[in-house]
Amino acid sequence: MDCVYHFALYELHEAIAEIDNEDQMDMLNTLVEGRRLRDISDLPFDLAV
């Protein structure tokens, strides 16, 4: 697995939405949908596999 775990992913999403930057939101969505950027709460489940 090749990804980065972010401790404030939901807050990052909200911040980008707040500044209404479409390019950054597209990049964030690409990383999340491609499973390259994940929330830190996913880490224990990924380690259990």
Residue 6: the pLDDT is 97
**CB of 2 closer than 8 Å to CB of 36:** yes
| Model confidence, pTM | 0.84
Closest CA to 43 of 3, 11, 16: 3
Residue 1: the pLDDT is 64
Ramachandran region, residue 21 (left: φ > 0; alpha: ψ -120 to 50; beta: rest): beta
Residue 5: the pLDDT is 97
Residue 49: the pLDDT is 81
Q: Count CB atoms within 10 A of the CB of residue 9.
A: 19
Span 1-49, pLDDT tens digits: 689 999 999 999 999 999 999 999 999 999 999 999 999 999 999 999 8
